[in-house]
Chain A
Amino acid sequence: MRTVLPALAAVASALTAPLFLGPYGHYLLCMAAIYAMVALSLGLLLGLGGQISIGHAGFWAVGAYGSAILVQKLALPFLLSLLASGLLAGLVGLLVALPALRVRGHYLAIATLGFSLVIVHILYEWDGLTGGRQGMFVSRPSLFGHELGSDFQAYYLILAVLALFVWIVVNLRRSLGGLSLSALRLSDVAAQSCGVNRAGATLFVFALSAAITGVSGAFYGAILGQLSTDSFTLVVSLSFLTMAIVGGLNSVVGALLGGIFLAYAPEVLRAFEQWQMFIYGALLVAFMHFLPDGLASLPRRLARIGRRGDA
C-alpha cells in the first residue's frame, strides 16, 4: 500500500500534467522524461553496478545521431530507429566496458570520458553523414506513419518508453541478477566465489545502461529537431551525473526526480548562465556529502529526524 498509492499518484500526474500546460511546458515535460531515462541508466550502472561513467553524453550522441541518420538517410520508421539506436549504443557500451574489466574508479572515469570525446570528435569530422559543424536537421518523432507534430503528442510516446524502461529496471533490481550486481559492487571476490561471472555482469550492465541512454538520445534529437555536437560535451556528461545523484541512484523514483531536476534547473539557472557548470559541480558534491541517496531518500530522512524529535 505504501508504495502503491504514491506510484498511482505519480502515474496520474505524469499523464495529466500536459493538460494544464502550454507548448513550452510540454517541451520541458518531454525533456524531463528524456533525462529520466538517462538517470535510470546511470542508476543501474553506478548505483547498482558500482561502475562510474563520465561519458554518458557519448552514448546519448550515438543514439541521437544513429536514429536521426537512420530516419533521414535510410527512411527507417522512427520506432525502428529507436530500437536500432538502443542496440547500437548498447554495442558501443560493450566496447567501452572492456576497460572496466581491468580498471575501476578514476581510471574508468577517464576511460569513459576519453571515449565520449572520441565519439563526439568522430561525429564532428564525419560531416558527410552528420553535417559536421553545421549540424543536421532531425524529423519529428512518428508512430506508425503518423507524425507526432506537437510535443504534447510526443510526450506520451516518450512516457510510454520511459515506463517500459522503468518496468525493466524494477524487474532487474528485484531479480537474482540485480542481487548479483549489488554483490559484485560490494565485494567482487566474494561475489565471484558465489559464482558470479564478473566480466559477463560488467559487460551486461554497461551495455544495458548505454542502450537506455541511446534511446533517450534518439528522442532528444527528434524533439529538438536538430543536432550539433555541442549537445554532447563533458558538461552534459557531468550534468547527467549530477541529476542522477541529486535524484538518487538507488531507486526509480530518484531517476524520475533527477530527470525533472535537469529539465527545470536551466529555467531557474538561466540568469547564471556561465555559472552553470560550477553550480552543477557544487550540487554534486553537496548531495554526495549530505544526501548521498538523493532527493528520493528525503521522505525517509525527514521521518527519521521527526521520530528523533519526538523521542
Chain B
Amino acid sequence: MPEALTVRRLSLAFSGLRAVDDLSFEVCEGSVCGLIGPNGAGKTTILNCLTRIATPDAGAVSVFGEDLLARPVHALAGLGVMRTFQNLELFSELTALDNVAMGCAAGHRAGWAAELLGLPAARRAREIAYARAEETLAALGLQAVGDRVVADLPFGTQKSVELARALVARPRLLMMDEPAAGMNTAESAALGRAIRDLARERGMTILLVEHDMGLVMSACDRIVVVVQGRRIAEGTPQEIRADRQVIEAYLGQAAA
C-alpha cells in the first residue's frame, strides 16, 4: 500500500534539549500506527511538527506525496490532515455545534466579500457546514449537547467534541494525541473499535499517540516506540510486546 505519511530524519531541539532526534518512520495509507513512549519522550512535539504547529530544525515530512514543511499550518486541513490535542484546544466560548462546524468551515467558505454582503453562496456554505456538523455529532451520539457551550461540558464530552471537529472534515490522515486519557476500560475499548472502523471502512490513515496499552495493542497495525525523541523500535503489536528494549525503556515501567 502507498505511504500516507513519511517522516525522514526529523529533529527538533528546545534550547539544547533534543525533543525529537533524527526520527524516521512511515505510515501506510488506511492503517493505524501507534506512537508510544514514556512521558516527555517527544510524542506531542512530533505531532506538532507533523501538523506544522512546530517547525523542526531538520528533516523532511511528506503527506500523500506532498512536501509538508513547504506548506503553512492552515494548508493542512485542505490536504486532508486533521488532529486532536492532548490538552484540548476547543473554542471554549462557542457551542459544541459551532466547534464542530469550524472543522469543515474553511473548505466551504464563500470568501469575505460574499460573507459581508450576505450572498446566498455564503449562507449556503454555512448551512452545509452546520448540517455536516450535526450529522457528525449525531454519529458520535452527541446530538444532545450541540447547543451547549463547550466549556460547560464534562471533560470526556469535550474530548469527543474535539474528535468530532476533526472527523467532520473527513480527513485522510487523522492524528490523535492521547484520546483515551481519562476514559474507563469500556470507553477505551469502544474508542478502539471506532478507530479500527475509521481505518477499515473509510480508509482513513490514523496516527495514534496513547499511553493506554490495551487500546494501542488492539487498535494498531504497527507501532513506533520513541524514547528521548529517538525511535528505539518499530513493528507489529506482537513484535513490540516482545521487544526487550521496549520492555526495559517503557512497557516494563508502564506495567509496574
Q: Chain A interface (Cβ within 8 Å of chain B)?
A: 167-168, 170-172, 174-180, 182-183, 186-187, 189-198, 204, 208
User: Which residue on chain A has the smallest CB distance to residue B82?
Assistant: A193
- Of A170, A171, A194, A197, the residue contacting B103 (CB under 8 A) is A194
- Of B93, B105, B122, B123, the residue contacting A180 (CB under 8 A) is B105
CB distance from B168 to the nearest CB of A (A): 10
CB distance from B87 to the nearest CB of A (A): 11
Q: Using Cβ atoms and an 8 Å threshold, which residues of chain A touch B108?
A: 176
Q: Using Cβ atoms and an 8 Å threshold, which residues of chain B touch A177?
A: 109, 111-112, 115, 122
- In the assembled complex, the Cα of A198 lies from the Cα of B52 at a distance in Å of 14
Q: Using Cβ atoms and an 8 Å threshold, which residues of chain B touch A190?
A: 85, 89-91, 102, 165
B53 close to A193 (CB less than 8 A): yes
Q: Which 9 A-B pairs have the closest CB atoms?
A: A195-B106, A195-B77, A171-B118, A175-B115, A190-B89, A186-B91, A177-B115, A176-B105, A192-B73
B105 close to A193 (CB less than 8 A): no
CB distance from B216 to the nearest CB of A (A): 23
A171 close to B85 (CB less than 8 A): no
B118 close to A167 (CB less than 8 A): yes
- In the assembled complex, the Cα of A167 lies from the Cα of B119 at a distance in Å of 12
User: Which residue on chain A has the smallest CB distance to residue B101?
Assistant: A179
CB distance from A228 to the nearest CB of B (A): 34
Q: Which of B159-209 contact A (CB under 8 A)?
A: 165, 169
B73 close to A193 (CB less than 8 A): yes
Q: Using Cβ atoms and an 8 Å threshold, which residues of chain A touch B106?
A: 180, 194-196
B115 close to A183 (CB less than 8 A): no
Between-chain CB contacts (< 8 Å), 28 pairs: A170-B118, A174-B118, A175-B110, A175-B126, A176-B110, A176-B125, A177-B111, A177-B112, A179-B98, A179-B105, A180-B105, A180-B106, A180-B109, A182-B98, A183-B94, A183-B102, A187-B89, A189-B53, A190-B89, A190-B90, A191-B102, A193-B74, A193-B77, A194-B102, A194-B103, A195-B78, A196-B105, A196-B106
- Of A172, A174, A196, the residue contacting B74 (CB under 8 A) is A196
User: Which residue on chain B has the smallest CB distance to residue A168?
Assistant: B116
Q: Using Cβ atoms and an 8 Å threshold, which residues of chain A touch B103?
A: 194
Dominant secondary structure at the B interface = helix
A172 close to B102 (CB less than 8 A): no
Q: Using Cβ atoms and an 8 Å threshold, which residues of chain B touch A192?
A: 53, 73-74
Q: Using Cβ atoms and an 8 Å threshold, which residues of chain B touch A179?
A: 94, 98, 101-102, 105
- In the assembled complex, the Cα of A204 lies from the Cα of B109 at a distance in Å of 15
CB distance from B79 to the nearest CB of A (A): 10
Q: Using Cβ atoms and an 8 Å threshold, which residues of chain B touch A171?
A: 115-118, 122
- In the assembled complex, the Cα of A9 lies from the Cα of B169 at a distance in Å of 42
B238 within 8 Å of A (CB atoms): no
Q: Using Cβ atoms and an 8 Å threshold, which residues of chain B touch A175?
A: 110, 115, 118, 122-123, 125-126
B156 within 8 Å of A (CB atoms): no
A182 close to B94 (CB less than 8 A): yes
CB distance from B50 to the nearest CB of A (A): 11
**Quick one: which of A177, A178, A180, A182 has the most chain B CB within 10 A?**
A177
Q: Using Cβ atoms and an 8 Å threshold, which residues of chain B touch A195?
A: 74-78, 105-107, 169
Other 13 A-B pairs with CB < 8 A, given A183-B102, A195-B107: A176-B101, A176-B125, A182-B91, A182-B94, A186-B91, A186-B93, A187-B90, A187-B91, A190-B165, A192-B53, A194-B169, A195-B106, A208-B116
B74 close to A197 (CB less than 8 A): yes
Q: Which of B48-85 contact A (CB under 8 A)?
A: 51, 53, 72-78, 82-83, 85
User: Which residue on chain A has the smallest CB distance to residue B116?
Assistant: A168
User: Which residue on chain A has the smallest CB distance to residue B73?
Assistant: A192
CB distance from A300 to the nearest CB of B (A): 14
User: Which residue on chain B has the smallest CB distance to residue A190?
Assistant: B89
CB distance from B91 to the nearest CB of A (A): 4
Q: Using Cβ atoms and an 8 Å threshold, which residues of chain B touch A182?
A: 91, 93-94, 98
CB distance from A295 to the nearest CB of B (A): 20
A176 close to B109 (CB less than 8 A): yes
B74 close to A186 (CB less than 8 A): no
- In the assembled complex, the Cα of A292 lies from the Cα of B118 at a distance in Å of 29
Q: Using Cβ atoms and an 8 Å threshold, which residues of chain B touch A170?
A: 118
B129 within 8 Å of A (CB atoms): yes
- Of B75, B77, B116, B125, the residue contacting A172 (CB under 8 A) is B116
B92 within 8 Å of A (CB atoms): yes
Q: Using Cβ atoms and an 8 Å threshold, which residues of chain B touch A204?
A: 112
User: Which residue on chain A has the smallest CB distance to residue B114?
Assistant: A175
Q: Using Cβ atoms and an 8 Å threshold, which residues of chain A touch B102?
A: 179-180, 183, 190-191, 194
A191 close to B115 (CB less than 8 A): no
CB distance from B166 to the nearest CB of A (A): 9
- In the assembled complex, the Cα of A195 lies from the Cα of B94 at a distance in Å of 18
Q: Using Cβ atoms and an 8 Å threshold, which residues of chain B touch A183?
A: 91, 94, 102, 105
Q: Using Cβ atoms and an 8 Å threshold, which residues of chain A touch B107?
A: 195
Q: Using Cβ atoms and an 8 Å threshold, which residues of chain A touch B77?
A: 193-195
CB distance from B146 to the nearest CB of A (A): 15
CB distance from A173 to the nearest CB of B (A): 10
Q: Using Cβ atoms and an 8 Å threshold, which residues of chain A touch B98?
A: 179, 182
Q: Using Cβ atoms and an 8 Å threshold, which residues of chain A touch B122?
A: 171, 175-177
